[in-house]
Amino acid sequence: MAYLAIVRHGQSVWNLENRFTGEVDVDLSPQGEAEARQAGQLLTPYPVDCAFTSVLKRAIRTLDIIMQQTGQTNLPVTRSAALNERNYGDLQGLNKDDVAKQYGVKQVDEWRRSYDVVPPHGESLEHTYERVVPYYQANIEPTLAAGQNVLIVAHGNSLRSLMMYLEKISPEDIAKTELATGVPRLYLFDNDMKLEKATYLSVSEKDKVIGV
C-alpha cells in the first residue's frame, strides 16, 4: 500500500503580481516560502522514498523547503521538464486583468480553465496532459507499484493534468477543479494500484493519518 503526495509550488512573484507565468522561471514570493514551510509541516507525518519536480525554480525551491521541514534532506530527487507548467505563449508576463480587458473575461477564462483551448502560441491543458501523464506512467507509477511513497512538487496545470488521470476527471469538470498553492493532496493506493482515497491536507488535519 503506497501513497502519493502532490504539491503545487508556493506563491510565486508573478502569482503575487497577477501575471501569466507559464514556463517563465520566476522565484517564490515570501508568502510562497511560508506556504512551502506549511506544506512541509503537513507532510511530516507522511515520509516518502523519493521526490519528483519540474526544472523550474519555484517548484525546486518549494521542494527544498518541504524537505527541510520534514527532515528528509537527503531524499532522492528527479527533475523533469515534463512536469513544467503549461506554456502560456504570448500571454506569459502579462497582467491577467489587462489581458481580460483586451480580450474579454470569457476568452481569458477559456484560455486558463478549458481543456483544449490554446492560448496564442502556447499550450492547452490537453497538450500539458499529453506530456505529464506519459511521464507519470513511465517513471512514477512503477515506483508506487513497487511500494515506494512518492512526492511530486510541480505546477497548477501540470498537476491538474495528473489529477485528471488519477481521479478520472472529465475535460468538462477539470475547468472547475482548482489546486491551491502549497496545499498537499494525498493519494492512497492499494497493492493493485487502485486509488482508495484522495484528500487534501490542511492545518486542522496535519496530525491525521489515513491508513498509512
101-128 pLDDT, tens digit each: 999 999 999 999 999 999 999 999 999 9
Rounded to the nearest 10°, the torsion over CA 145, 146, 148, 154 is -50
pLDDT at 78: 98
Residue 117 lies in a domain: yes
Q: Which residues are the active-site residues? A: 9, 85
The pLDDT tens digits for 57-99 are 999 999 999 999 999 999 999 999 999 999 999 999 999 999 9
Report how far residue 64's alpha carbon sits from residue 60's, in angstroms, rounded to the nearest whole number: 6
| Residue 114 cell numbers, joined | 478549458
pLDDT at 189: 97
* Binding-site residues: 8-15, 21-22, 58, 85-88, 96, 112-113, 156-157
Rounded to the nearest 10°, the torsion over CA 172, 56, 203, 49 is 100
The pLDDT tens digits for 154-210 are 999 999 999 999 999 999 999 999 899 999 999 999 989 999 999 999 876 444 433
Residue 211 lies in a domain: no
Residue 138 lies in a domain: yes
Report how far residue 74's alpha carbon sits from residue 99's, in angstroms, rounded to the nearest whole number: 43
Tally of structural domains, the chain: 1
What's the Cα-to-Cα distance from 114 to each of 4, 117, 133, 148, rounded to whole Å? Answer: 26, 6, 18, 33
Q: What is the pTM of this model?
A: 0.93
Q: Work out whether the CA dihedral 100, 103, 109, 115 comes out positive or negative.
A: negative
Domain around 122: 3-205
CATH code for the domain in which residue 122 is found: 3.40.50.1240
pLDDT average, residue stretch 19-35? 97
Q: List beta partners, residue 7.
A: 153
Residue 130 lies in a domain: yes
Residue 174 lies in a domain: yes
Q: List beta partners, residue 8.
A: 154
Q: Which residue has the cell 525546486?
A: 60
Residue 158 lies in a domain: yes
pLDDT at 204: 62
Residue 212 lies in a domain: no
pLDDT at 153: 98
pLDDT score of 212 more than 60: no
Residue 143 lies in a domain: yes
Roughly what angle, to the nearest 10 degrees, separates helices 156-167 and 125-135?
70
pLDDT average, residue stretch 14-32? 96
Classify each residue of 53-78 as buried b or exposed e, where b means 16 or more C-beta atoms within 10 Å of its C-beta: bbebebbbbbbbbbbebbebeebeee
pLDDT at 209: 38
* Binding-site residues for substrate: 8-15, 21-22, 58, 85-88, 96, 112-113, 156-157
pLDDT average, residue stretch 26-48? 97
pLDDT score of 136 more than 70: yes
What angle is formed at CA 184 by the lines to CA 43 and CA 124, rounded to 5 degrees?
150
- pLDDT band for position 137 (cuts 50, 70, 90): very high
Name the region of 121 (left: φ>0; alpha: ψ -120 to 50; beta: rest): left
| Residue 121 cell numbers, joined | 502560441
pLDDT at 208: 43
For residues 69 and 41, the answer to whether their CB atoms sit within 8 Å is: yes
